[in-house]
Amino acid sequence: MPSETLWEIAKAEVEKRGINGSEGDGAEIGEKSVFFIGSKNGGKTTIILRCLDRDEPPKPTLALEYTYGRRAKGHNTPKDIAHFWELGGGTSLLDLISVPITSDTLRTFSLVLVLDLSKPNDLWPTMENLLQATKSHVDKVIMKLGKTNPKAVSEMRQKIWNNMQKDHPDHELIDPFPVPLVIIGSKYDIFQDFESEKRKVICKTLRFVAHYYGASLMFTSKSEALLLKIRGVINQLAFGIDKSKSICVDQNKPLFITAGLDSFSQIGSPPVPENDIGKLHAHSPMELWKKVYEKLFPPKSINTLKNIKDPARDPQYAESEVDEMRIQKDQELEQYKRSSSKSWKQIELDS
């Protein structure tokens, strides 16, 4: 019997909630969505599995994957439901960002950006491309939602600003991301062996970006203690559990900064000699930090699409009949290419 598709599972889950929701004392079932994006092989799946207490080896995420978790608020109460989405492929599958972000999910939607600290040259372009693409789509959905439910949009914006105290000195200087955002730096165990100056630049840069977007920032690794802290943060997004107020800004330790607890004065200016700042010709603080960062960690000009493993050739998805047909079609395509090439050469000779 063929296995159920993702959409069939999701549909069955919605129908089941509809049945369960009509029973009991009428208590409301909470429902939230958490979307994981970030570096390819950055550890997104590992974090999700840890949050869901699933003891299984992580598998590569080829495109967009979905799972869910449940948690009861108390005894004899309906379980809240959290939808976990994960985008694979780093920055190569940006079109799929629109799938989990809809008018129906937006009001209870959170974003988790996982960045591989062990690959600092890929860090800024990965962060920039993913955040820009996500923000662009979220803005479109907000505009659409605003036409039918302006109150919901107003409540969303107010909720985002609630993370920042009204008397915070940077209140007028930040531009909060339109949905709750958490930035996680993974593979801290490798990062901690970097040179002090490199760690300083990465830490200060990520602190600036996180604070500017009104986001939380934290580093993690395979350490159980760090994973437990990350799990607490994700559970807060997924199930509304109380937010941690702890903070660590020491670049010699794993950063842990909850949204609204940092400040530009504590972060300081970009780590570059003052006489060099004027030569960078930046039009905004974000662009200035980008130029300073990429001066030390120039981005690698690679085609991210080439890094994607072709699912059609992945052994775990092998199907003999389909694979035989694929080989036949590939051969036909190559034959067509050769014949087309000969035809064009003949035309050139005749002319």
pLDDT tens digits along 289-299: 999 999 999 99
pLDDT band at 282 (very low <50, low <70, confident <90, very high): confident
pTM for this predicted structure: 0.78
Per-residue pLDDT, 136: 95
User: Cα–Cα distance between 312 and 298 in angstroms, integer?
Assistant: 33
Q: What percent of the chain lies above the pLDDT cut of 90?
A: 46
In this structure, what DSSP letter does residue 79 have? E
Cβ burial, residue 237 (10 Å; 0-12/13-18/19+): buried
Per-residue pLDDT, 346: 55
Segment among 136-140, 197-201, 340-344 with least mean pLDDT: 340-344
User: Cα–Cα distance between 252 and 178 in angstroms, integer?
Assistant: 31
Looking at the predicted structure, is the pLDDT value of residue 236 above 80? yes
| The pair of three-digit structure tokens given for residue 322, joined into one six-digit string | 């389909």
Looking at the predicted structure, is the pLDDT value of residue 300 above 60? yes
pLDDT band at 10 (very low <50, low <70, confident <90, very high): low
What's the rounded mean pLDDT across residues 230-236?
A: 90
Per-residue pLDDT, 20: 43
Looking at the predicted structure, is the pLDDT value of residue 55 above 90? no
3-state helix, strand, coil in the chain (%, to 5): 50, 15, 40
pLDDT band at 72 (very low <50, low <70, confident <90, very high): confident
Segment among 136-140, 152-156, 187-191 with least mean pLDDT: 152-156
Residues 6+ apart with CB under 8 A from 114: 36, 37, 38, 39, 42, 43, 44, 47, 184, 186
